[in-house]
Amino acid sequence: MIMLNLGRLQAQEIMLKADRMKGEKRRGDNYQILRGNVMFEQSGSVVTCDEAEYNTVKEELEGFGNVRIVGSEGAVVTGSRLFFDNKNKTARVDGNVVLRDKSMVLTTPWIIYHTDTRIGYYGAGGKIVDDELTLSSRTGSYNPTLSMLYFRYNVVLTHPDYVVKTDTLQYSNRTGNTWFFNFTEIQSDENTILCNYGNYNTKTGQSYFTRNAALINKENTIRADTLSYNRNTGIGNAYGRLWVKDTSQNISIFGNKGYYDKNRKYTRVMGNTLAKKLEKNGDSLMLKADTFVYVADTTTQKRYLHAFHRTLLWRTDFSGTADSLTYHADDSVFYLFGKPVLWNENTRLNADTIRIFIANSRIKLMQMRKNSFIAMKEDTGHFSQISGANMDNYFTPENKLKTIRVKGSGKSVYYIKEKDSAVTSANAVQYNNMQIDLDSNRVAGVRFYGDPSGTLYPMSDFPKEQKTLPGFVWDEDNRPKDRIFKAPFPVPPLPARHPGNTSAQKPSGRKKGKG
């Protein structure tokens, strides 16, 4: 082995070793020709090859055959040809280049490697395999000191459980952290995630997406300013302009903060909330509450929407209030709890609990349980009233109250008038069971069961103290109006690709592993 000390450059010697050496002069420059087991060390990196030619004036070395660079941290670069610039401390390796560092393997046509910083750069397309990950891009760089990789253009990261497509990506193979800096699409069997900025840890499964982030699957779409999600646990949180949609049930929920559990199929939305159920006839049921919970039964797969605290609801044909509400989406049944109140045209209905059955956007049946009360405004100052323990109410195809069946003991005051004339008489009755039939929201017929007791009064003789029954309330000002059921913000847009970014495409439905 022959050794040759070629002096100091920037306080850094280059010591060449080879089996054979000779000197030559070419175009005014001095060259050292090295053959067999060529080796030198620079800034802690050891470089070897089969043959080399070194320009001692320009301090440039060309190496050929079995090129190998071993960094002080253990990273190894191999190829078939080497160009080394001692002044700039850069080595370019060409020909089936492979960079290995711990579990990571990079293959590329060529790479530029800085021997002092240990940073490698490629610009002709590269592929990295790191444990389960495979990553390809047009250009990239690697810093073994930080175990950090940076990729640009046509970046695709493939994992058995998901695929990431983006234009700019930074990845730490030490921690598993991945950062995205523009439009990014993450596809798996169950979810597609879109964002314009974020990070994801390939080892823990924890992610953070922002700038119009979206999570899309077969059943739901979730959009928000910011989403955090753990792929391993299936738990996520959302912040700022949150919009959740169940595509099969046409239910949308707006809010400012959310929680999502994929395994439990559970979603909670809070803060300036609004829920909207689009009916088949084009109408919409609107809901407001402090908190919405949307959950699917993991056994039956039936879906339920729960509204908690200060719940308001509105449809073109009725509106109401309650402390809480549950909607069985698959059966179209509403349960209202906590002294619910409903208005239908000029009728007010309230009870301890109310259950509403809907089919084809029509109210089939409304069941009122415990302390049931119905008040109907006949004209200014006159209200027909019905009280009882339980009531079943039936509606016309236009969702107007048609029949009231009172079960159990009750009381009633109802007014009689001829067509559009003024009220002519009043009937005050006590009974055990009763049915009232309505026509255009006026009493058209009454049936009593058992032995009712009551008196029919002409209006001039009707006692003032009997005009209202215990429990009568007419609080028209509390009746929800449609103007309060406006969306708190427009539906957040899907993330958009930046101009000139063609690497990440629209969701393609590709399926790869679990989400």
- The DSSP call for residue 144 is T
**Residue 503: per-residue pLDDT:** 40
Residue 364 lies in a domain: yes
Q: Please enumerate in sequence order all residues whose Cβ is within 8 A of that of 121, keeping only pairs 6 or more positions apart, or say none.
A: 111, 112, 113, 139, 140, 141, 142
Residues 225-280 have pLDDT tens digits of: 999 989 889 899 999 999 999 888 889 999 999 999 988 889 999 999 999 988 77
Residue 140 lies in a domain: no
pLDDT beyond 60 at 501: no
Which has the minimum average pLDDT: 10-19, 28-37, 84-93, 177-186?
10-19
- The DSSP call for residue 478 is G
Distance between alpha carbon 26 and the CA centroid of its chain, in Å?
A: 67
User: When comparing pLDDT for 476 and 3, which is higher?
Assistant: 476
Mean pLDDT value across the chain? 86
Q: Provide the token pair at 164.
A: 């990431």
| Domain boundary residue, one of 93, 124, 155 | 124
Residue 143 lies in a domain: no
Q: CA 278, CA 61: separation in Å to the nearest integer?
A: 73
Average pLDDT of the segment spanning 282-298 = 89
**Overall domain count for the chain:** 2
**Residue 6: per-residue pLDDT:** 40
Average pLDDT of the segment spanning 11-32 = 83
Q: How confident is the model at residue 513 (pLDDT cuts 50, 70, 90)?
A: very low
pLDDT beyond 80 at 509: no
Residues 158-196 have pLDDT tens digits of: 988 889 999 999 988 788 899 999 899 989 888 888 988
The CATH number of whichever domain residue 16 belongs to comes to 2.60.450.10
**Residue 12: per-residue pLDDT:** 53
pTM of the predicted model as reported, rounded to 2 decimal places: 0.77
**Residue 2: per-residue pLDDT:** 45
Residue 267 lies in a domain: no
Residue 369 lies in a domain: yes
pLDDT beyond 80 at 440: no
Residue 423 lies in a domain: yes
Residues 330-349 have pLDDT tens digits of: 888 999 999 999 998 889 99
Residue 135 lies in a domain: no
Range of the domain at 283: 273-496
pLDDT beyond 50 at 499: no
Q: How confident is the model at residue 506 (pLDDT cuts 50, 70, 90)?
A: very low
Q: CB atoms < 10 A from the CB of 470, how many?
A: 8
Q: CA 112, CA 120: separation in Å to the nearest integer?
A: 5
341-344 and 60-70 strand pairing: unpaired
| Domain boundary residue, one of 124, 141, 169 | 124
**Residue 142: per-residue pLDDT:** 83
Q: CA 309, CA 312: separation in Å to the nearest integer?
A: 9
Residue 512 lies in a domain: no
**Residue 419: per-residue pLDDT:** 66
DSSP string, 317-349: S-EEEEEEEEEETTTTEEEEESS-EEEETTEEE
